[in-house]
Structure 1
Amino acid sequence: MSTVTVTIEKLGAQGHGVAESEYGPVYVPYALPGETLAIARNGDYGTVMSTSNPSPDRIEPICRHFNPDRDNCGGCSLQHLAAPAYNAFKRELVIDALKARGLTPEVGETIACHPGERRRAVFSVRRTEKELLLGFNRAETNHIVSIEECPITSPGIVARLPAIRTVAAALAQGSESFHLTVLETLSGLDLAADGLKKLDDKQRRAVTEAVLSLKGIARVSVNGEIILEPTKPIIDFGGVNVSPPPGAFTQATKPAEEAMAELVMNHLGKAKRVIDLFAGSGTFSLRIARKAKVHAVEGEDKSIKALDLAARNTQGLKPVTVEKRDLFRRPMMAQELKVYDAAVFDPPRAGAEVQVKELVRSGIKTVVAVSCNPATLARDLKILVDAGYRIKSVTPIDQFLWSTHVEAVALLSR
């Protein structure tokens, strides 16, 4: 380890400041472009010792748990960066990923995320000899920093932190850590624990007693098994009520979901038959069904059943058909796709390479690509562009405030 002075030139993809040195790039957490720093260098990693000229984009963090000098909770990595520079950074992540594939489409300004909008949070939990830790892992460690506040998370979740702790304490087994996903729904909090052993009868009783003593808990599940469901968790997809299965994927913020849905719907225009690939529990399918016939395809059985049930119980929708299908192993083939006017796909981080190749062969004229990973989005868009599709726009959407994650919606036609 050595002490050197460097000047930060840019932010890297992980949000670290990047400086060039005689040893090559050095990555410095919590440093900002333009700052000259004395750092303790360990390989290509640097720790700030002192700063001689703080960036004008540096701001005071609003959360006591964001403290790089002490016990930073690890939930945020960019709380010290002013909003204009932060939103520009999110946009650049998308631009850079596209450029790496030789793509230079119009990329819109980032649709911003704001404090208090997160309706879904994944907490780390562990019981120690002294206390129950419920919070987030400090960056690059397994150390859980217990939190008392969280400015990114909805007030409904923050206000219920004591209740969440009570349920987590009943779930905890020894000193083993586990994850607890909390989703705020219209009917209460949906708590989904993962990483626990099967609960015995004593623990089930303890969890039941804890939940029944509290208000505002809709459901508790462990590894996908419902332990207790005082009321069905309900989320609203464009006016259609859906009860998602335990731990099912949902967009992290409602405003981001609505922004994405608006982009999707506007691009579909007057399409009469639409296929929604990687449909989940119906984020887009159920909105599209207000104006077009929809075929929703999803690999997760419980999610597609939730979508189907919601469609059947909602009046005023166009016909909705569903299909359980692993689109990575068995993509919709070109011949199957030819009957549709438009396609929407919103895959996991791995992207939809195999499925996109079949979309290309199908000749579908209108395509919407939704992605949480700019790198795989760029790869998939390159396949479409090389086949003659034109990217009309790409819009970055932030719903993971003060992190390095960014969503994007790309609109294509040919």
Structure 2
Amino acid sequence: MAELKIEYLGLHGDGVADGPIYAPLTLPGEVVSGTVEGTALRDVRIVQPSDRRVRPPCCHFKTCGGCQLQHADDDFVAAWKIEIVQRALSAHDLRTEFRPIQTSPPQTRRRAGFAARRTKKGALSGFFGRGSDTVVAIPHCILLDPAVLAGSSVAEALALAGASRKATLSVMITETKTGLDVAVSGGKPLDGPLRLQLAGLCEQSGLARLSWDGEVIAMRCAPVQAFDGIDVSPPPGAFLQATTHGEATLLSAVKEITSGTDKIVDLFAGCGTFALPLSRHAEVLAVENDEDMIHALDRAWRAASGLKAVTTETRDLFRRPLLADEFRGVDAVVIDPPRAGADAQIAELKQTNVVRIAYVSCHPTSFARDARQLVNAGFTLDWIQVVDQFRWSAHVELVASFTSPHMRR
């Protein structure tokens, strides 16, 4: 047995001792013991606990892998998430003002991916256990919205209907205004009897929509999300912010950054989380690689009233970023790339006369790399708003405000 002192938390929420040795569910300053296997500490025991350690509020925490940080008090987690972003910026010699973190309340996650399996006695659904492929039931989860949590029984019924004994279904359940939107992957191939059975389950469970490996099986009514009061019906499995609180916080910051501008480009626009609300006051070009999401955005704009022009383009911004001259006449840009960031697009954007950029990021490391490019080109990183909509996890999101030197002339 080795005895180690935890120096800090790593990016995935594990405690890190000299070596480095990674110890899950530990906190900085704690003395812990366990068996070292490579770079991991197994069978961890807390010898000297941190004064920031608390009793986890969820009864599933020890076995469920859905949360990583319930053993730390809320103030510690908030400070740590801001520190993650600060460290990423520091690696590129960047500093800025940080606004107070905004954290989504418990029981507000409107979307969850359940794992579901057939068993000898029936079926089981939940999340994968910590560091394993064992499915752990989570009937008292305090993270999910109650409507989403209730969808666990739907996942079990789907496993009974369409999972093989050796396979695990992935069941994505999303709360919408019109009912649960359920997208399944990893199931048996569709045939006539399975289609009829799944359609029956959709009706019996009162689902808005049920899709199977990308194919819509049944739809009682179109699933509807409201982006700042504008109704959108996303395609199955479409990207969506994790909580309405998180979405509203991100949108509020984006609105502030782009306030007073007349023409906006929204890059990686999805189904219109930002583009549609911003079109109340500005013309918007929305660019997204997924054709189905772009169609959903366009339908929503056409059905709404009181919005300014929204034009759309389906385009892979990694392979074909918008070129600098395509931003001619554009006042502001909103960019919300996936975890890889937007290196190629930023290389073009920094050559433009755009005066304001709202950068929404789910990965501080790639954000800091892109921010360095913009600052090198003369942009000012005005401030950052960290948003914690993945409560008790190691995931960090942010909105950053950049101002162009052209605005200051």
- Is this a same-fold pair by TM over 0.5? yes
Secondary structure in 2 aligned to 1:41? strand
Match of 1:105 in 2: 96
2:257 corresponds to 1:267: yes
The answer to whether the Cα contact below 8 Å between 1:167 and 1:211 also exists between their aligned partners in 2 is no
Match of 2:393 in 1: 403
Match of 2:309 in 1: 319
2:144 corresponds to 1:142: no
Q: Distance in 2 between matches of 1:303 and 1:352?
A: 19
Q: Distance in 1 between matches of 2:91 and 2:188?
A: 44
In the TM superposition, residue 48 of structure 1 has moved relative to its aligned partner by: 4.5
Specify the code of the residue in structure 2 equivalent to 1:90: K
2:320 corresponds to 1:330: yes
Q: Distance in 2 between matches of 1:78 and 1:295?
A: 39
Q: Distance in 1 between matches of 2:140 and 2:158?
A: 18
In the TM superposition, residue 197 of structure 1 has moved relative to its aligned partner by: 4.4
In the TM superposition, residue 268 of structure 1 has moved relative to its aligned partner by: 0.6
The correspondence of residues 208-219 of structure 1 with structure 2, limited to 5 A, is: 208-215=199-206, 217-219=207-209
2:41 corresponds to 1:41: no
Per-residue CA deviations over 1:92-149 (Å, capped at 9, x if unaligned) read 1111111112211122232112210100111112223333221111233222222222
In the TM superposition, residue 49 of structure 1 has moved relative to its aligned partner by: 4.4
The correspondence of residues 208-287 of structure 1 with structure 2, limited to 5 A, is: 208-215=199-206, 217-287=207-277
TM-score normalised by L of structure 2 = 0.96
The answer to whether the Cα contact below 8 Å between 1:170 and 1:210 also exists between their aligned partners in 2 is no
**For this pair of structures, how many residues does the alignment match?**
404
Specify the code of the residue in structure 2 equivalent to 1:177: T
Q: Distance in 1 between matches of 2:331 and 2:44?
A: 58
Q: Percent same amino acid at aligned positions?
A: 41
2:24 corresponds to 1:29: yes
Match of 1:381 in 2: 371
Q: Distance in 2 between matches of 1:405 and 1:396?
A: 11
The answer to whether the Cα contact below 8 Å between 1:350 and 1:376 also exists between their aligned partners in 2 is yes
2:6 corresponds to 1:5: no
Specify the code of the residue in structure 2 equivalent to 1:99: S
The answer to whether the Cα contact below 8 Å between 2:23 and 2:44 also exists between their aligned partners in 1 is no
Q: Distance in 2 between matches of 1:202 and 1:64?
A: 40
TM-score normalised by L of structure 1 = 0.95
Match of 2:171 among 167, 170, 180: 180
Q: Distance in 2 between matches of 1:80 and 1:166?
A: 33
Could you list the runs of 5+ residues in structure 1 that have no partner in the other structure?
Answer: none
| Bigger mean CA offset, 309-318 vs 203-212 | 203-212
The correspondence of residues 180-199 of structure 1 with structure 2, limited to 5 A, is: 180-199=171-190
Per-residue CA deviations over 1:138-179 (Å, capped at 9, x if unaligned) read 233222222222110001222343234323432323421121
In the TM superposition, residue 318 of structure 1 has moved relative to its aligned partner by: 0.6
Q: Distance in 1 between matches of 2:331 and 2:71?
A: 46
Could you list the runs of 5+ residues in structure 2 that have no partner in the other structure?
Answer: 405-409
Per-residue CA deviations over 1:174-224 (Å, capped at 9, x if unaligned) read 421121111100000000112234311111111111222223x10000122
Match of 1:202 among 163, 177, 193: 193
Q: Distance in 1 between matches of 2:45 and 2:120?
A: 37
2:48 corresponds to 1:58: no
Secondary structure in 1 aligned to 2:329? coil
Match of 1:295 among 282, 285, 299: 285
Match of 1:153 in 2: 144
2:349 corresponds to 1:359: yes
